[in-house]
Amino acid sequence: MTTIRLGTRRSALATTQSGWVADLLRRRGHDVELVEIVTEGDVSTAPLATMGGTGVFAAAIRKALLSGEVDIAVHSLKDLPTAPEDGLVIGAVPVREDPRDALVARDGLTLGELPTGAVVGTGSPRRHAQLVALGLGLEVRAIRGNVDTRIGHVTTGACDAVVLARAGLARLGRTGEITETIDPLQMLPAPGQGALAVECRADDAAMTAALGEIDDPDTRACVAAERALLAELEAGCSAPVGALAEIVEGEDGEEISLRAFAGDTDGELELRRSLVGPMDDPEGVGRRLARILLDDGAGVLTRPPVPATRHTKSAPQSRQPVSADRPS
């Protein structure tokens, strides 16, 4: 039996996610080895938006895949550009982890319990925009780094709280550090958040068949709707856009229910819209909801996003900005 070479970033979260996919394949009789690949996003301290967005994490891995250095690659789906890559195909979207965002705050506080002027760290313009839109008087500051680095801003007192993807904390076994799992009514996740994409070469029939064994059709449909919305907006995977699709029971059977947010980090734009559509056309649902957002003013998001910096609607400027950290 030929061993499947699985390309992964070297961070703890990436290798954990890749190991989970490897175990799914091993349980189906495949031999798998992990091959670590260093990406530009792993070695730079620059804000992701200035480097072209989170797609920088995928570029090096895709290059290794196309060159034959590895056979498959695992990506956090929210980091994967919506445009297809020539020669590659997403062979599997396994069952999704909880897609919601999570707060890790000092003293066990929730968002509503944080005092006016509390410093909340995030590297995401989407989270930044929705935190500002809540009108809680929070001071939002840009941070970077791996999970340890980000949570470290709370333990050292540099931030009162940070916002992270709950899925990543769950995969690392660190849900005990979460002080609040944020309701999507307050903060919609990034399109594809909590889901993984496993890519292979389009002409590799054996890998395509093997990955089909671990694909989850419901998850694939939901993320297809979310990513179609993002693509139609032409906003980029680091833009202040949130989306969450769920499968619901309609009068004629299962349907796709899609909610979306589009906003900016200045709090001048805040759009929340939703749409329900047929299960067999998730991309169409996403595109239609995107056009609703565009008709209502979301077209400004087609401009390159401005990196998130210190911002608040009403909080006092009482602390120094948190510097970016080198990810692992």
Q: Say which of 42, 71, 79, 204 is annotated catalytic.
A: 79
Q: Kind of pairing, strands 4-8 and 32-36?
A: parallel
What's the number of CA atoms in the CB half-sphere (13 Å) around residue 55?
Answer: 15
Residue 207 shares a structural domain with residue 288: no
Residue 236 shares a structural domain with residue 90: no
Residue 50 shares a structural domain with residue 20: yes
The enclosing domain of 280 has a CATH number of: 3.30.160.40
Q: What is the span of the domain harbouring residue 269?
A: 222-302
Answer yes or no: is 323 within a domain. Answer: no
Residue 232 shares a structural domain with residue 210: no
Could you give the percent of the chain with pLDDT greater than 90?
74
pTM: 0.85
pLDDT in tens, 154-205: 999 999 999 999 999 999 999 999 999 999 999 999 999 999 999 999 999 9
Residue 233 shares a structural domain with residue 285: yes
203 catalytic residue (yes or no): no
C-beta separation of 204 from 264 below 8 A: no
Residue 201 shares a structural domain with residue 264: no
Q: Pick from 51, 105, 50, 97: which is nearest to 78 by CA?
A: 97
**Domains contained in the chain, number:** 2
- Report d(CA 291, CA 166) in Å as an integer: 29
pLDDT in tens, 259-272: 999 998 888 889 99
Residues in the chain: 328
Residue 207 shares a structural domain with residue 237: no
Report, as an integer, the average pLDDT of 234-247: 85
Q: Residue 311 carries which DSSP code?
A: B
Report residue 140's pLDDT band, with 50, 70 and 90 as the boundaries: very high
Mean pLDDT in the chain? 87
Residue 240 has pLDDT above 60, yes or no: yes
The enclosing domain of 211 has a CATH number of: 3.40.190.10
